[in-house]
Amino acid sequence: MSLLERVKSGDFLSATLDLSQPSEVGQWTLPNGVQFALISRGILQVIPAKIKAETKDIVLSCGIHGDETAPIEIIDQLTRKLVLGEIEPKHRLLLIIAHPEAVNAHTREIDENLNRLFATEQDEETKEQEIANRLQHSVRYFFCQSSDVSPLHHWHLDLHCAIRESKHHTFALSPFSSEPSRGQGLFAFIQQAKLDAILLSNRLSGTFTSFSANEFGAQAATLELGRVAAFGENDLTILAPFIDALESLVTTLTLNETWSIEDSITTYRVARTLLKETEAFTLLFPKDIANFTFFDAGTPLAIDNNKTMVADEGGESILFPNANVGLGQRACLLVKKARLIAGEQMTIAESSFL
């Protein structure tokens, strides 16, 4: 059976990962009128039978890092239901399993971190640079083919897992953007999915969702769903609220898009970013420390270039600490709790910056 035929039968993941078969493209339509187009290996476009004023354009991506398997399983299950006609989408979808080679190797990357390469077009000197260009082109085409130019109708959820334990088992990261990419609808979805926390970034980055937010004003978020595990070892029952919310997002034309203050989740803002300036950079806490661990003001956090960095006034929590990054790259985020203000765009209360 060809790769295309396997995708049509509902085996999107296994077909994508079978690199012994050549990549294919193709289109087909189900009896319910839903149209599918296999754009390339691991990239499937889905068009609902009817396009309405409320129809969104939703990118759902996973596998940016190959060892983050729970999101891949979630997207595969959703795709199977769509392809077999068990559920019917109400929105345009672009479903992505980004890095089949890394997934097969059960490794985060082959040459470099793919989720740092979306700030610009790449030279394609590494496997990840090639993938970054292909994904950017696919997302551009998908959004540009939309019948609605409103950024509020463009969405991008990039599903990940963390490589370490976390004080919050699930959390969302909202990329910084000069575009209106933090609408209430996105944050209401995060509430409905019962994620434990949300972090608002304060600077541009090279992540996949940052690309979508800044180039298209997409309502974008990187979603961290538990911890890295091998295929078959993920307890998806823990993620049931998110899985249910995701299916509702895809199959319901209009959801409740109002952020509930009464049901508010823990919110953080980025206070600082620690960059690795020299090979002598050292983090001054255990390697296996959990994300969102809090440090009181004055606690030594890292040393680099003969300079010791300490927790700021009021204390700070650490996120994504990793001393094994390239020079000039982020070695750790330092975050503080904040209070959201609901409006057309979600913002952080000024008092959060005191």
- pLDDT tens, N- to C-terminus, the chain (354 residues): 899 999 999 999 999 999 999 999 999 999 999 999 999 999 999 999 999 999 999 999 999 999 999 999 999 999 999 999 999 999 999 999 999 999 999 999 999 999 999 999 999 899 999 999 999 999 999 999 986 666 678 999 999 998 889 999 999 999 999 999 999 999 999 999 999 999 999 889 999 999 999 999 999 999 999 999 989 899 999 999 999 999 999 999 998 888 887 677 899 999 999 999 999 999 999 988 999 999 999 999 999 988 999 999 999 999 999 998 888 888 999 999 999 998 889 999 865 554
- How is residue 117 written in tokens? 């390469």
pLDDT computed for residue 281 by the predictor: 95
pTM above 0.85, yes or no: yes
Beta-carbon contacts of 328 under 8 Å, excluding residues fewer than 6 positions away, are 275, 276, 277
- How is residue 194 written in tokens? 């019962």
- How is residue 231 written in tokens? 């295929």
Q: Name the burial class of residue 351, with classes exposed (0-12), middle (13-18) and buried (19+) by CB atoms within 10 angstroms of its CB.
A: exposed
The Cα 292–Cα 62 span in angstroms is 23
- Alpha-carbon Rg for the chain, nearest whole angstrom, is 20
* CB atoms closer than 10 angstroms to residue 85: 12
* Residues recognised as catalytic: 224
Q: How far, rounded to the nearest angstrom, does the alpha carbon of residue 317 sit from its chain's CA centroid?
A: 21
- Terminal CA-CA length for the chain: 61
Q: Are 59 and 155 in contact (CB under 8 A)?
A: yes
The Cα 219–Cα 228 span in angstroms is 25
pLDDT computed for residue 351 by the predictor: 56
Dihedral sign from CA coordinates of 320, 265, 352, 296 = negative
Amino acid at 224: E
* CB atoms closer than 10 angstroms to residue 286: 9
The Cα 76–Cα 96 span in angstroms is 10
The Cα 317–Cα 272 span in angstroms is 10
Pairing relationship of beta strands 316-319 and 330-338 according to DSSP bridges: antiparallel
The Cα 269–Cα 253 span in angstroms is 31
Pairing relationship of beta strands 197-200 and 170-174 according to DSSP bridges: parallel
